[in-house]
Structure 1
Amino acid sequence: MAQTQHDASAYYVPHHSGWPFLGSIALFTTMIGVANWMNGHDWGQKVFFVGIAMLLLVLGRWFGDVIAESLQGKYNAQVDTSFRMGMMWFIFSEVMFFAAFFGALFYARQFALPWLSGVGDGALTNEFLYNGYTAGWPANGPGNIGGSYETIPAWGLPLLNTLILLTSGVTITMAHHALKQAHRKSLLVWLGATVLLGALFLYFQATEYHEAYTELNLTLGSGIYGSTFFMLTGFHGMHVTLGAIMLAVIWLRCAKGHFSNDHHFAFEAVAWYWHFVDVVWLGLFLFVYVL
């Protein structure tokens, strides 16, 4: 049963909510759609977008309820601490998420490909299965899976996108300082600049993907290099998209005066997430594009 009194020692317990259940259905629908889409079933694409639409609707209504509870003064310092701990654990889970993908990249480059080419314990495998195969990176594996392709130069659009994200890290920090000093005009300018930089990053990444598919024959099916390249950069792009949406929502909340200079955890949470996205991209730029 929800509490109606919220003193300094009380911990707010909300009413039962159906949003987690509906969110799980949306995620399951999205997963079914993308799995079948990638396996060549045309209906998978439609199911995927239906799942995404369901997920956006659920998240919008769910976060709307949380915002309403915050504006009604139902959250105190204890709830704020719980929010902070929850965001920290969420970002830690995201670190592990990308660590798994980076691990797959490193394992393929440092162990799997040399083994298939006859190094160490892979001598018999190379002799009987892939005789004459020589490991190298980037590679599409034995059999030239996906055909020949070209890689994307690191010092073109990837470098530009790196500068864009680094700049956005500066602008979000400036926005945070403006919020703590109660300078709303500066806050909206710097925060708006961060949103625009995020959108610009996504535009250039879409341009890069289009060039990869239409001009370089670099696709998701281009062997181990193509799969790891699009897996890492694609999931990072998804995180940038979510981050940009959250920043836009925070901009609207700042414009409506939802935050004070000492109570603005929602802003801080999104800023933490955005800095995390920046750091992950630096790793991607180095290990996917440069090395």
Structure 2
Amino acid sequence: MSASHPAPGQEAPYYFVPGLSGHPVRGSVALLLFGLGMVMLVNGMAAGKWVTLVGVLSFLVVLYFWFGDAIRESEGGLYGRRIDISYRWGMGWFIFSEVMFFAAFFGALFYARLHATPELGNLDHRLILWPDFSSVWPNTGPAGIIEPFATVGPFWLPTINTALLLTSGVTLTIAHHAVIANHRSKAIVWLFLTVLLGAIFLGVQAYEYIHAYNDLNLKLSSGMFGSTFYMLTGFHGFHVFIGALMLSVILVRLIRGHFTPTHHFGFEGAAWYWHFVDVVWLGLYLLVYWT
């Protein structure tokens, strides 16, 4: 995810092809452990938290060494214009895949709210299956099989988080323009503020989850609303964490003197991802908290 300039006196190869690497396999195993651990957690298995922790730590280790290899290749002058273009296409398609990922969950939310809930409340279902069902969103399900819960409104925690992410988009843009202008110190300060805002966002979201679970009785098992709420906001929070991690790597690289005004796609790629995360949150804020 980094494209730098060739080393002084060295011309980048026509197209650099790296050697065999075990990083993809190790990363897949780490993600498998993470997914298995989350499934165990959802099903109340005590070992779930430890399996999840091992998966997360393993994935972070893989990222550390994988990023390190890419950075060494970049700073060694192995990445030329064609590699830069490849990285741009790769990052573009990756973000598109993330768009479709969130589209699936937004689609589930729309289906449950605009189709399934009214359908269950029509005359046939009320007379034959669930006469006491109320077709309002959100609801406690047919026959009241779900514990009563309250929803999370837009004020004040979600609004605070919206302001944090929008501000982080501004600070990141300032940092990017500072890189282009070759003002490294300015770029470092504004990028640090961006990472800090992302960390504060995650802290506020964690507090919101504690409040929702303990005070509002809103859980993953709280019907379709609870599942879509936590899947959308939870996966978004995970993406904020990954984005902040990427920007932290870029920050360290800036401090070490990497990137030039004309060759800094490592910075740009992470910035694209962060702005994508910002846009997804705006959709969440409007469609989950306000409606």
Same fold (TM over 0.5): yes
Give the aligned partner of residue 127 of structure 1: 127
Q: Which residues of 2 match residues 93-172 of structure 1 at below 5 A? A: 93-118=97-122, 123-172=123-172
- Asked if the contact 1:145–1:222 (Cα under 8 Å) also holds between the matched residues in 2, the reply is no
Match of 1:200 in 2: 200
SS of equivalent residue, structure 1 residue 130: coil
Aligned match for 2:86, one of 82, 86, 107: 82
Aligned residue number for residue 217 of structure 1 = 217
Provide TM-score, normalisation by structure 1.
0.94
Q: Deviations over 1:239-273 (max 9, x none)?
A: 00111111111111001111111100000000000
Partner Cα distance (1:146, 1:211) in 2: 19
Residues 212-257 of structure 1: per-residue CA shift (max 9 Å, x gap): 1111111111111111111100000000011111111111100111
Is contact 2:37–2:51 with CA below 8 Å preserved after alignment?
A: yes
Q: Which stretch has the larger CA shift, 58-67 or 136-145? A: 136-145
1:263 corresponds to which residue? 263
- Distance in 1 (alpha carbons) for counterparts of 2:89 and 2:269: 10
Of the three residues 21, 27, 36, the one matched with 1:32 is 36
Contact 2:132 2:142 in 1 (8 A): no
TM superposition outliers: structure 1 runs of 4+ over 6 Å: none
Deviation, 1:146, is 3.6
Per chain length, whose mean CA-contact separation is higher, i.e. which structure has more relative contact order (CA < 8 Å, sep 6+)?
2
**2:11, 2:77 within 8 Å by CA — same for their partners in 1?**
no
Alpha-carbon distance in structure 1 between the residues aligned to 2:150 and 2:135: 17
Larger deviation: 31-40 or 199-208? Answer: 31-40
Q: Does 1:70 align with 2:70?
A: no
* Structure 1, unaligned runs of 5 or more: 1-5
Q: Distance in 2 between matches of 1:102 and 1:166?
A: 21
Q: Distance in 2 between matches of 1:224 and 1:211?
A: 19
**Residues 280 and 113 of structure 1, relative CA distance in 2, 3 Å threshold:** same
CA contact (8 A) 2:12 2:79 kept: no
Alpha-carbon shift at residue 113 of structure 1 (Å): 0.6
Q: CA deviation at 1:7?
A: 4.7
Amino acid paired to 1:161: N
8 Å CA contact 1:179–1:260 kept in 2: the answer is yes
State the alpha-carbon separation in 2 of the partners of residues 146 and 179 from structure 1: 53
Q: Which amino acid in 1 is paired with 2:201?
A: F
Q: How does 1:241-280 map to 2 (within 5 A)?
A: 241-280=241-280
Gaps of 5+ in 2: 1-9
AA in 1 matched with 2:74: S
* RMSD, aligned CA: 1.3
Task: For 2:194, give the aligned amino acid.
Answer: T
Shift of residue 290, structure 1, vs aligned partner? 0.4
Deviation at 1:145, TM superposition (A): 4.0
Q: CA deviation at 1:153?
A: 1.9
Aligned twin of 2:49: 45
Identity of aligned residues (%): 54
Question: What SS does the aligned partner of 1:42 have?
Answer: coil
Paired AA for residue 178 in structure 1: A
Per-residue Cα deviation, 1:73-125 (whole angstroms, up to 9, x for no partner): 0010000100000000000000000000000000000000111111xxxx433
Q: How far is 1:155 from its partner?
A: 2.2
1:279 deviates by 0.3
What's the TM-score, normalizing by structure 2?
0.94
SS of the residue 1:158 aligns to: helix
Is 1:55 matched with 2:59? yes
Indicate yes or no: 2:288 matched with 1:284: no
Query: What letter is aligned with 2:60?
Result: L
CA distance in structure 1 between the aligned counterparts of 2:101 and 2:228, rounded to whole angstroms: 14
